[in-house]
Amino acid sequence: MLGMLSSLVNKYNVAGPRYTSYPTVPYWDSNTFSLKKWRTSLKQSFIESNLDEGISLYIHLPFCESMCTFCGCNKRITKQHSVESPYIDAVLKEWGLYLEILDSKPLIKEIHLGGGTPTFFSPENLKRLINGILRCSNLAENYEFSFEGHPNNTTKEHLQALYDVGFRRVSYGVQDYNETVQKAIRRVQPFENVKRATDMAREIGYTSVGHDIIFGLPFQSIKHVKETIIKTKALLPDRLAFYSYAHVPWIKGNGQRGFKDSDLPDATIKRTQYELGKQLLTEIGYHEIGMDHFALPTDSLYQSMTEGKLHRNFMGYTASKTQAMIGLGVSSISDSWYGFSQNVKAIEDYHHLLKENILPVFRGHILNEKDLIIRKHILNIMCQFKTSWQQDNMYFEELPELLIKLKEMEADELINIGSTYVEVTKKGRSFVRNVCMAFDLLLQRKQPDTKLFSMTV
């Protein structure tokens, strides 16, 4: 079994996207993008979807007090908390510019606070931020607010303040419980800290507590992954992200240079770590959701999967779909369905543009008709492991050639190809990114520099 797994890993372990969007960011056509086109696409999406499904907001809070070497996020390391209030003022100013575009009260379905470390901010400032957002908005009936918490600095006051303004889901970055691994990635947090943060959330009334676990970390062995999941069983979080460490130091600079490449487990060991982790999680009652996610049957992520409502965007997998997602804060990405835009990455540039009443967008992409078709196929594969072109509006002219290329994956029992569909097998779910890559026409036409993406395994 291990030999067969090793053979497939060696064959399909290539650089590839994680498909939180299509087209993926390196293939955006910024030459044909403009702020005017972006505003038009967002307004169209808002008119089509606001009344029935609402919109999502992703708010990027970039500050951290210390550097974690596994992290690939846009962040600013500082211990000066005087940065909090000016940044919140800027985010609320950006929200005000979007409200002018939308021209009527938005219906908020989702808010997610990401980072950085959202709990770098004081409870009072987080509450001020959310109240400022909600002051000019309506709430959807089944809204879901979530945030990323650091187990070491998420206090009861943080949890209570966010609960008071509607948050019911929190996700804690655990990564791994082994001290050697934690020291290598500069994220030392004892099990007791994670337990305390998890218990506090549940005592306050949070209905979904998630943990993030990473495999493929420096010095991480198969035994370490097993021990981490045994400890996870004691806390039984409602959902888990269990994903591969993306080693891209050439993109993220010194933040991922705290160890040598030789300290990382190889691709076969990484895949064995995942398969063992998946087996252990299944044994204690978790269900695999899409790619790299697991949930208990009582969690909304599992329920959305069984109902065929699972969605994927720049926030990862979500329990419900909104056509429009607005990203606020530095480096945030917005999605109108018809177009994408990304904010500037430097905090100084972000402040400067907003002082001039200019949306802080520096690049984007407007999707053409074929982009939209392929986007739907890739979303179907990522969320339901199956896509179909039975309806005429899902067919595109390159499809017959694409299916020929997929024959090898079918021979390896990773997919089944029917007359009007492609379905990922149970064996093939570990290689779902590779299946999506076959549908990615932009990737096929211009193979990427291997330094654009992390490895698929």
The pLDDT of residue 451 is: 58
pTM: 0.92
> Which range, of 3-7, 113-117, 341-345, 353-357, averages the lowest pLDDT?
3-7
Mean pLDDT of 409-416: 95
Distance CA 106, CA 139 (A): 8
Whether 279 shows a pLDDT value over 80: the answer reads: yes
Whether 238 shows a pLDDT value over 80: the answer reads: yes
User: Residue 157 CB: number of other CB atoms within 10 A?
Assistant: 12
Distance CA 340, CA 366 (A): 6
Contact 450/2 with Cβ under 8 angstroms?
no
The answer to whether the bond into 23 is cis (omega within 30° of 0) is: yes
Classified as helix, coil or strand, 246 is: coil
Residue written as token pair 């390896």:
412
Q: Give Rg (Cα) of the chain.
A: 21
Q: Which domains does the chain have, with CATH numbers?
A: 1-23+368-457 (1.10.10.920), 26-335 (3.80.30.20)
For residue 254, what pLDDT band results from cuts at 50, 70 and 90?
A: very low
User: Residue 253 CB: number of other CB atoms within 10 A?
Assistant: 9
Enumerate the β-bridge partners of residue 146: 112, 169
For residue 445, what pLDDT band results from cuts at 50, 70 and 90?
A: confident
390 CB contacts (<8 Å, ≥6 apart)? Answer: 420, 421
The pLDDT of residue 140 is: 94
400 CB contacts (<8 Å, ≥6 apart)? Answer: none
Whether 3 shows a pLDDT value over 60: the answer reads: no
The four Cα atoms 190, 68, 312, 430 give a dihedral, to 10 degrees, of: -80
Q: Phi and psi (nearest 5°) for 452? A: -80, -35
Residue 296 tokens read as: 């208990």
Write out pLDDT tens, residues 12-49. 878 788 898 999 999 999 899 999 999 999 999 999 98
The pLDDT of residue 12 is: 83
